[in-house]
A and B are shown apart, each in its own frame.
Chain A
């Protein structure tokens, strides 16, 4: 048989005859014909089988349209994307595949975006590439559709990741994300600063060595070993345990340790979010507030005692109700001014000069009737109230009976520091007033001055009733050696 063929082949043959025979025997699978624009390859049946397999297997949807825009072929991926079978798709119009605008072939051979209609009523973002081709005298359009939902989802995930990352970066708390085994998977910038390095990849207890902030908190933390703390933080909610970091750089700072579960879409815990909030400043403010409330309470009680005492004493010495009213109002006014000063200076203290100017303003300190001379001295807050009351008594006496009661009278207040700047000596000198007669009067005012200077100012008061006017010498300590806890003497009832 073979030799028979060989003999036939050896015989000179017409080429056309040979070609026809090859085609007839199925030995060729394509022929070249003369088309309008030169030779054209025409595939015989079966020749495109490899391409067909490739198209069926490709991950993009593919379809062919006839000249009228009617679908003549779809691959299986397109069926999957639309949710329709090939029989349902072939014969339909291309436009019916889409929601909204129908994609068109682009001159620059790029793809365009479209929404593919799905059989389940939903839609799918796709990227559509199209090209028109002349095939054996007919015009067809080849189309591929790429599912963009995965890419979109990836973009959304990337956006969410960037969003979460920027929250982590900008959070003022140290935030770390733990996997279920207690290993850190994400950390905020502040967390990195606290750990002194990137804690990602380390166990929480390795990255942050913790101690309880106080004995009362010790119990909570002591229940856990290092490993079990990692486990607990990764799997159980934790609320507000006060801790300190063992890192010497963080000594003296307190942190609030909290943890909450991190869940996935299926609501399964996949780890936890642990925060360390620096509460050092908050604690300091709380302590200060507690102290201030106690101080305020103490002072209000003092003031009420003072008011009660002043009222009692004024009542005892006042000759009439109008006189009581005037004297009492003046003294309460002095207490009020002293408190204004303390509030304005935030209980820090005040310059002596400034105190004199403020307290004596109603008595003509700025009009040359009261002259002030002395070096700058800063008074502690505790001295403000007693000194204000003493100055008020002196000034009231002066305006009623002394130098300030006469048109040309004058008060000179001078002071100096003594005993290594520990004490202040003040001279109150009245001149130009009415003549002071024998010994003067030791009324309530002088009693109050004496007691206040002795007990509240830890000093001495010497009151001399000179014929030309009063000379009062006050000597008092500028700094308290011990903090007196007793009530001011001004609040003590006189003998």
Chain B
């Protein structure tokens, strides 16, 4: 999706969605805005549509959609919902508000 060269302290994010459900679309929009504001040039987002391949849910044990997974930096973190609460997302991803 939005790709940037990975750095040492880069964020590798994975967003699980279900087609074009309203929460999925909102989550993706919120995430992109947040990353551009707080992590410019330091993130990658991979969007996985479970409508197309539900089996991919097993990899990160997804039970609700949308769900955001922070793969890197470790440890793995998980945020469920449409990511509309920016403050909560920043805390959840260990990103210091700028």
B21 located at the interface, meaning its Cβ lies under 8 Å from any Cβ of chain A in the complex: yes
Q: Would you call B66 and A28 a contact (CB within 8 A)?
A: yes
Shortest CB distance A35–B (Å): 8
B39 CB to nearest A CB, Å: 18
B21 CB to nearest chain A CB (Å): 4
B55 touches A32 (CB 8 A): no
A50 at the interface (CB under 8 A from B): yes
**Binding stretch for chain B, among A38-46, A267-275, A344-352:** A38-46
Tell whether, in the assembled complex, residue A19 and residue B18 are in contact, meaning their CB atoms are under 8 Å apart: no
> What are the residues of chain B within 8 A of A39 when measuring CB–CB?
50, 54-55, 57-58
Contact of A464 with B by CB under 8 A: no
Given A30-B18, A32-B63, A50-B22, A2 and B87 contact (CB-CB distance below 8 Å): yes
Partner of A29, one of B65, B78, B88: B65
Complex Cα distance A231/B11, Å?
Answer: 78
Q: Within 8 Å CB of B24, what residues of A?
A: 29-30
**Using an 8 Å CB-CB cutoff, how does the interface string of B36-73 with A read, 1 for contact, 0 for none?**
00000000000000110011011000111111000000
- A29 and B91 form a contact (CB under 8 A): no
A263 proximal to B (CB < 8 A): no
Which of B20, B64, B78, B88 is A50 in contact with, Cβ under 8 Å?
B20
Q: Which residues of B contact A48 (CB under 8 A)?
A: 21
Bound CA span A18–B80, Å: 7
A25 to chain B, nearest CB (A): 7
Once the chains are docked, how many angstroms separate the CA of A163 from the CA of B58? 63
- Docked CA distance A18–B63 (Å): 11
Interface members, chain A 276-292 (any B CB < 8 Å): none
Bound CA–CA A151/B57 (angstroms):
44
**B residues in contact with A32, CB < 8 Å:** 50, 54, 57, 62-65
> What are the residues of chain B within 8 A of A6 when measuring CB–CB?
87-88, 91
Interface: A23 (CB within 8 A)? yes
Shortest Cβ distance from residue A32 to the other chain B in the assembled complex, whole angstroms:
4
Q: Name B1-31 residues within 8 Å CB distance of A.
A: 18-24
Task: List residues of chain A with CB within 8 A of the CB of B88.
Answer: 2, 5-6, 9
* Beta-carbon contact of B23 and A40 below 8 Å: no
Residues A1-51 near B (CB distance < 8 A) = 2-3, 5-6, 9-10, 15, 18-19, 22-23, 25, 27-32, 38-41, 43, 46-51
Q: Which chain A positions have C-beta within 8 A of B65?
A: 28-32, 41
- Cα–Cα, bound, A3→B80 (Å): 18
By a CB distance below 8 angstroms, the chain A residues around B19 are 51
* Set of chain A residues within 8 Å of B22, measured between Cβ atoms: 29, 46-47, 49-50
* CB of B77, distance to nearest CB on chain A (Å): 11
A28 touches B54 (CB 8 A): no
Interface residues as binary, B74-90 with A (CB distance below 8 Å gives 1, 0 otherwise): 00001011101101100
Docked complex Cα distance between A3 and B78 (Å)? 19
Contact of B23 among A18, A27, A38, A51 (CB under 8 A): A27
Q: Which residues of chain A are within 8 angstroms of B80 by Cβ–Cβ distance? A: 18-19, 22, 27-28
- Beyond contacts A9-B88, A28-B66: 7 other A-B pairs, Cβ-Cβ < 8 A, are A6-B91, A18-B78, A28-B81, A29-B24, A32-B65, A43-B21, A47-B21
List chain B positions with a Cβ less than 8 A from chain A.
18-24, 50-51, 54-55, 57-58, 62-67, 78, 80-82, 84-85, 87-88, 91-92
**A residues within 8 Å of B by Cβ?**
2-3, 5-6, 9-10, 15, 18-19, 22-23, 25, 27-32, 38-41, 43, 46-51
User: Shortest 9 CB-CB distances between A and B: which pairs?
Assistant: A27-B81, A30-B18, A30-B65, A22-B80, A47-B21, A28-B64, A29-B23, A32-B57, A39-B57
Instruction: Name 27 interchain pairs, CB-CB below 8 A, sorted by A.
Output: A5-B87, A10-B91, A19-B64, A19-B80, A22-B64, A23-B64, A27-B84, A28-B66, A28-B67, A28-B80, A29-B21, A29-B22, A29-B24, A30-B21, A30-B23, A30-B50, A30-B64, A31-B63, A32-B54, A32-B57, A32-B65, A38-B55, A41-B51, A41-B54, A47-B22, A50-B20, A51-B19
